[in-house]
Structure 1
Amino acid sequence: MTDATLDDATVLAADPDWWRQAAVYQIYPRSFADANGDGIGDLRGITSRIPYLVELGVDAVWLSPFYPSALADGGYDVDDYRDVDPKIGTLAEFDEMIAALHAAGIRLIADIVPNHSSNRHEWFREALASPRGSAARERYIFRDGEGPDGTEPPSDWQSIFGGSAWEPVGDGQFYLHLFAPEQPDLNWANREVRDDFLRTLRFWSDRGVDGFRVDVAHALAKDLTYPLRSHAELEATKLSTDGSHPLWDREELDEIYAEWRAVFDEYDPPRIAVAEAWVAPTRRHRYAAPTSLGQAFNFDLLRANFDAAEFHEIVDRNMAFAAESGSSNTWVFSNHDVVRHATRYGLPDDHTFEYDLGKAWLLSGGVSPVVDAARGLRRARAATLFLLALPGSAYLYQGEELGLAEVPEIPDSERQDPSFFRNAGVEVGRDGCRVPLPWIADAPSFGFGPAGSDASHLPQPAWIASYAVSAQESDPTSTLSMYRRALALRHELQGAEKLAWISLEEGAGGADAAADVLAFQRPTGWTVVTNFGTTPFVLPAGLAGLDVILSSASDAAAGEAAVPAPAAIPPETTLWLR
């Protein structure tokens, strides 16, 4: 692997707007790099791969949960919000990692999980040991059981992972868990809960964390006045636009996040935050407002088909949103909760792809489709170059720069995702996008662990070797080379957060031929053309006279020298022109 030279004297500029057009790389720590050979990725493993991140060209790392956890939900069940899981490191190693990232010019965004703790958190253990009505139980959401003997749950609500959202504790009360039973929901109407999280924000900010990704940001405030609505009523109104849903996107969140913003603004530059908020698009601005978290994930492209009209409408809508909110757009195709987009784009066109509050499942109705891997990767490369050219920030998920596909062939006995165990046979779960990365094609654990170690907390299939960094880094046409070149050009070319669409009808076959093609220009003169169709598209004269500086086509991905634009753009291809 090529080592990038790190300048230890590099100091990150105190730029309060660094996030607006940043390329942010998500690291799922347990699957990124394992320094000690126990099969679990760790902080020292991340530190050892900082030269790779430098060469890739990212501006920031988003680190998924690294806190002490029983891993009932991949680390999103947090035992202690102000410590590091001993299985992946120590606070001292965290400090070393963030210092090395900063020295390399890379900022760090930490995942924070405020909706629920784990059931091993000291507060929850205290709650279970305390009587009804105690202050300890008031930090969570406990309610009396229903029915003649109090053994029925307070409502028929279902958790996101399946099964009842209420868990009995043996004394006639139940606690609410919108996710797994090991993830009891915190009571954000409780002042002690609010104050403790403000301490947590300061704890990590004081250690140099540059920002926070806020898990399930739309769920903290809840209205649990009786009578509780039915599960069917909740499902019918979960994307309400008036803040009236009892569990999601309530108005009280404005006050909670205003307090967070006050903490962020204590620092120079201010700490940033991005909300994971699965809400109606018209409600997203509440989280992205400068008085709130400041940025909110836009999952619209992630949910879209590979279709020119859909992409066009999504970009227009979100550009208007950014102008209205004063925030910047957040573009994303893959993350730890969804099927990798190189696989999604290879699904049959008539396949139903299921989403629910951040989870995307490869199975639909229990049917496993045949994936066209070549087509999926071709479309993924084209879509990625389209995304990386858009104004706003780009959130990338570890392994997508390798074109990594979803891993479906995980034995049931080795799966870890709670959604699989609570909905087996219906949802395959998210383990397939969390398989440890391949670094070296011919090494044990494909270089995920140190030399000689073949341990891997999720099984890696043999075919993953062809995606390894070592198999791609010297190939100028590889997906890794395309990402590196694209991110370097992105830094060079992006200017104001604006774009202008280019009409392609004249001289290119008319409206019918142009329906599958999108073209836009950034203020720096950077022009992007994407053919979403299955046939070549003849470029109009104005574009044919430009030079290609990058192409998603696998035979011409990363050339350093510009070449004249072809007469026609191939199917399912993006060109960057100048």
Structure 2
Amino acid sequence: MSVDTVIQDTSAVAGPLTLVHAADTAPGWWRSAVIYQVYPRSFRDVNGDGVGDLAGITEELPHLADLGVDAVWLSPFFRSPQRDAGYDVSDYCDVDPIFGTLSDFDVMMAESHRLGLRVIVDLVPNHCSDQHPAFQAALAAPAGSPEREMFIFRDGTGPDGQEPPNNWQSHFGGPAWTRVPGPDGQPGQWYLHLFDSSQPDFNWDNPAVHAEFERVLRFWLDRGVSGFRVDVAHALVKAPGLPAWGGRADGGNSDGYPGHEAPMFGQPAVHDIYRKWRLILDGYGPDRILCAEASVDLQRLAHWVRPDEMHQAFNFPYLHAGLDVFRLRSVITDSLRVLDGVGAPSTWVLSNHDVVRHATRFGYNGPGPRDGDGIGPSDPQPDEKLGRRRAAAASLFMLGLPGAAYLYQGEELGLPDGIEIPGHLRQDPTFARTAGQRLGRDGCRVPLPWRAGDRHLGFGPGEDPWLPIPASFGKLARDQQAASPSSHLSLYRDALARRRELDLGRGSLSWVEDWCTGSSLGYLNGTTLVLMNLNHEPLVMPSGQVLIRSLPGGTADALASGETAWIEIGPDAAAD
């Protein structure tokens, strides 16, 4: 039976079904995994310096195993000046002292394996720190030298080269070029940085850059990691000649400038890099993976996960679909169809370290925060209760989908963004580069609350955390929620257990047309109906066994507004 065939099912429970995706039988743990993102500096601080550390991750790993996730993804913990929270790397093969040592990493790896958890590490191959020895050598070397060829140096334009080589802009605001002095102390060449000026872009036209990162891959694979999440995986190769670009700095679509034409993103040669990396990982066995952070449309995203390239790619269209039922259905259908076409699983994600947490985003009935920007005390404020209710519904809806799911630390607690962060404590470079016009991403990076009665809510025993923890987080602390069967944490724990028991990550997906309206969305995964109600009025549920619902203590036969339920309807209703 072909995809998108409408099946006239005679069951009064299911009604007409539209099959989109068949059950997945291909090998690979990652195809259905639930992967938990740890942002190390905000996870748990054991040594009391106000910043999370590897020892803190090790100490709390049992909580993640108990939650029911399959793997942990660690945001950067490498040596770094921390100008961009570790995404400015000065040594890819060592641990920054604020997080611990390589020995601490090995202890963490041993504990994760004891608990049955895999570990994926972040890799940042587009750019490094300006303190990286290779960039320092480039600054000391003349134009055209092998040292400078590791990066993208160019002569300027205009009189005396005083204008940048082209008009590209930084993601964090301002120009994407910075000029450096020449050997004589006079203004010299410019170097490219798509992000902060402290993050020079590597020159991936240079084979020496390829060799260096292949060395880095092997270093961490030899230490037992299960793979890599690749930061801005679509940006490494730039178009020949570095042509001007009048579109968005992030390569998103804008009037007259479709994203696929952006000269700094998605160049064909980038795929040759990942084919070589895939061969390296395959040499370590079939269970090591690559996951692309590639902010491109779904059709192009499939190019990153062809059989000889990466295993997964983040599904940003899903993250940005919000709670629009028409957009959600379209994105889910297109994701499964396009990725099935190359034999890859889809991934699903609602929050990460770069966006406002979904418990906050969903607290608005009108326009919410702009993508990539935070919320301050002078901005329109979300309805916290509404946001948490919708977040629970959206999370339960997502966890029923076939494929892999990514969770961001703290979302299992229903944490909102930190809003009351004074300007002098903000650390995202976006805030500084835009003179405060864009608040940046600090709000979603606020440290976690572990124990309500402890100093700093259990995050750390000593100095104030690197970002302030809102007092309101006390009632959301992990120990408070662990004791309540009706908490957000209990919902996640129960949902992940049911997901594994029913093997939903390997399942199928058919839209249940009678439940796909302008205000509700329902799909069948195997014999489990996942139904979300976004209407202002309750929705009468079909008959069947309610396995789990996002609002505790609801009406037995109706879904409340902003509620999702999983309903077992039996094999007869799911048959075609």
Settle same-fold status: TM greater than 0.5. Answer: yes
Q: Are the counterparts in 1 of residues 520 and 533 from structure 2 also a CA contact under 8 Å?
A: yes
1:166-565 aligned within 5 A: 166-171=177-182, 172-225=188-241, 228-232=243-247, 244-349=261-366, 351=367, 353-355=369-371, 359-362=372-375, 368-450=379-461, 453-495=462-504, 496-504=506-514, 514-523=517-526, 525-539=527-541, 543-544=542-543, 546-555=544-553
Give the superposed CA RMSD.
Answer: 2.0
Look up the SS of the partner of 1:354 in the other structure. Answer: coil
Deviation at 1:152? Answer: 1.7
Q: Distance in 2 between matches of 1:333 and 1:242?
A: 23
Write the letter of the residue equivalent to 2:205.
A
Cα distance change, pair 37–426 in 1 and its aligned pair in 2 (3 A): same
Query: Does residue 57 of structure 2 align to residue 46 of structure 1?
Result: yes
Write the letter of the residue equivalent to 1:262.
L
Once structures 1 and 2 are overlaid, which stretch shifts more, 302-311 or 390-399? 302-311
Q: Are the counterparts in 2 of residues 290 and 326 from structure 1 also a CA contact under 8 Å?
A: yes
Deviations 1:198-244 (A, max 9, x none): 11111101110001100000000012416x31444878886888965
Deviations 1:127-182 (A, max 9, x none): 00111110000000000122212222112221000111101111220100000011
Q: Are the counterparts in 1 of residues 512 and 522 from structure 2 also a CA contact under 8 Å?
A: yes
Give the structure 2 partner of residue 3 of structure 1.
none
* Greater RCO (Cα-Cα under 8 Å, separation 6 or more): 2
TM normalised by structure 1 equals 0.89
Q: Are the counterparts in 1 of residues 178 and 192 from structure 2 also a CA contact under 8 Å?
A: yes
Write the letter of the residue equivalent to 1:574.
T
Q: Distance in 2 between matches of 1:339 and 1:379?
A: 15
Give the structure 1 partner of residue 561 of structure 2.
571
Give the structure 2 partner of residue 78 of structure 1.
89
Identity %: 47
Q: Give structure 1 stretches of 5+ with no counterpart.
A: 1-14, 506-510, 557-564
Deviations 1:85-128 (A, max 9, x none): 11101111111101110110100110000000100101000000
Look up the SS of the partner of 2:407 in the other structure. Answer: strand
Cα distance change, pair 161–538 in 1 and its aligned pair in 2 (3 A): same
Which of residues 140, 146, 149 is equivalent to 2:157? 146
Query: Does residue 144 of structure 2 align to residue 133 of structure 1?
Result: yes
Cα distance change, pair 242–324 in 1 and its aligned pair in 2 (3 A): farther
Q: Are the counterparts in 1 of residues 245 and 262 from structure 2 also a CA contact under 8 Å?
A: no
Q: Distance in 1 between matches of 2:402 and 2:109?
A: 27
Deviation at 1:250? Answer: 0.6
Q: Are the counterparts in 1 of residues 245 and 263 from structure 2 also a CA contact under 8 Å?
A: no
Give the structure 2 partner of residue 561 of structure 1.
none
Q: Distance in 2 between matches of 1:159 and 1:208?
A: 35
Look up the SS of the partner of 2:491 in the other structure. Answer: helix
Q: How many residues align?
A: 535
Deviation at 1:302? Answer: 1.5
Q: Give structure 2 stretches of 5+ with no counterpart.
A: 1-25, 183-187, 569-576
Q: Distance in 2 between matches of 1:88 and 1:352?
A: 34
Write the letter of the residue equivalent to 2:525.
R
Give the structure 2 partner of residue 8 of structure 1.
none
Q: Are the counterparts in 1 of residues 292 and 314 from structure 2 also a CA contact under 8 Å?
A: yes
Q: Are the counterparts in 2 of residues 241 and 283 from structure 1 also a CA contact under 8 Å?
A: no
Q: Distance in 1 between matches of 2:538 and 2:294?
A: 38
Look up the SS of the partner of 1:260 in the other structure. Answer: helix
Cα distance change, pair 98–197 in 1 and its aligned pair in 2 (3 A): same
Q: Are the counterparts in 1 of residues 169 and 249 from structure 2 also a CA contact under 8 Å?
A: no
Give the structure 2 partner of residue 97 of structure 1.
108
Q: Are the counterparts in 2 of residues 111 and 213 from structure 1 also a CA contact under 8 Å?
A: yes
Look up the SS of the partner of 1:374 in the other structure. Answer: helix
Q: Are the counterparts in 2 of residues 198 and 260 from structure 1 also a CA contact under 8 Å?
A: yes
Q: Distance in 2 between matches of 1:336 and 1:242?
A: 23
Write the letter of the residue equivalent to 1:278.
S
Cα distance change, pair 441–234 in 1 and its aligned pair in 2 (3 A): closer
Q: Distance in 1 between matches of 2:139 and 2:344?
A: 42
Give the structure 2 partner of residue 562 of structure 1.
none
Deviation at 1:245? Answer: 3.1
Cα distance change, pair 234–32 in 1 and its aligned pair in 2 (3 A): closer
Q: Distance in 2 between matches of 1:269 and 1:92?
A: 26
Deviation at 1:73? Answer: 0.6
TM normalised by structure 2 equals 0.89
Give the structure 1 partner of residue 23 of structure 2.
none
Look up the SS of the partner of 2:79 in the other structure. Answer: coil
Deviation at 1:342? Answer: 0.2
Cα distance change, pair 156–516 in 1 and its aligned pair in 2 (3 A): same
